[in-house]
Amino acid sequence: MMIDYEDDFEVRGEIFMPKKSFEKLNAQREQMNEPLFANPRNAAAGSVRQLDSKIAASRKLDFFSYILLGTDIKTQKESLEFLSSYGFPVNKEYRHCKTILDVISYINEYTTKRDELPYDIDGIVIKVNDFNIQSALGFTEKSPRWAIAYKFKAEEVVSQVEDIFVTVGRTGKLTPNAKLIPVEISGSIVSFATLHNQDFIKLKDIRVHDKVVVRKAGEIIPEIVSVDASARDDQSKA
């Protein structure tokens, strides 16, 4: 892409896979008897790691730019307007909020509208608009003090534990897992959930044949949230 701008600047953002690209990719993999991707995030990550750029290009990834460095622009809003004016893809759903009540209203709006978007989201990033204030606030060791991510509550569904089994990792680590009656969570079928360790099983009192509430931790890793002990029958065993 060529732009009519003489000075140097830097653009950062995020690569993602739209829902339609994900569905098409998994349909192709199913026809070729290849394992399916669990979700668009995993598919996008796997695609950008491809050594053959033609494979990545064929998967119809997309990109949103949201960080601009090296200019005299003073605010996040102005930087997004600048990027958009020069043809860089910017998420059109962004909003400049004047108060925290505006932020809360925006969160509530997209809690219900998120499924209508052509890509998956698991939350909303809230940023201080003024770059001078961002600079004054600074960073912790791991993250900026001028931005925070609000995460949506994960979708929770009910399933049943059919079995509990242990897998052995490359280093010899033993990890217990639950085999579940398959259920759909956030667009993919979940048949297994990690149980982390023996203490986790004891804490939640997870047993074979138990009815359990399952969700995807961070929208990715299936985990058991709770057990419905009231539905426990004689077949249930620790």
| 228 Cβ contact partners less than 8 Å away, ≥ 6 residues apart | 158, 210, 211, 212, 213
Least Cα distance to 20 among 122, 118, 93 occurs for: 118
Q: What is the pLDDT of residue 219?
A: 66
DSSP 97: -
| 176 Cβ contact partners less than 8 Å away, ≥ 6 residues apart | 164, 165, 166, 194, 195, 196, 197, 198, 200, 201
The structure tokens listed for 194 are 């990690």
* pLDDT tens readout for residues 92-114: 999 999 999 999 999 999 999 99
Task: Residue 180: count other Cβ atoms within 10 Å of its Cβ.
Answer: 20
Strand (E) or helix (H) holding 44: helix 40-48
| 156 Cβ contact partners less than 8 Å away, ≥ 6 residues apart | 213, 214, 215, 225
* Residues in a beta bridge with 216: 222
Least Cα distance to 26 among 14, 12, 40 occurs for: 40
What is the pTM (predicted TM-score) of this model?
0.74
Taking 70 as the pLDDT cut, the residues of the chain under it are: 187, 218-219
Q: What is the pLDDT of residue 157?
A: 94
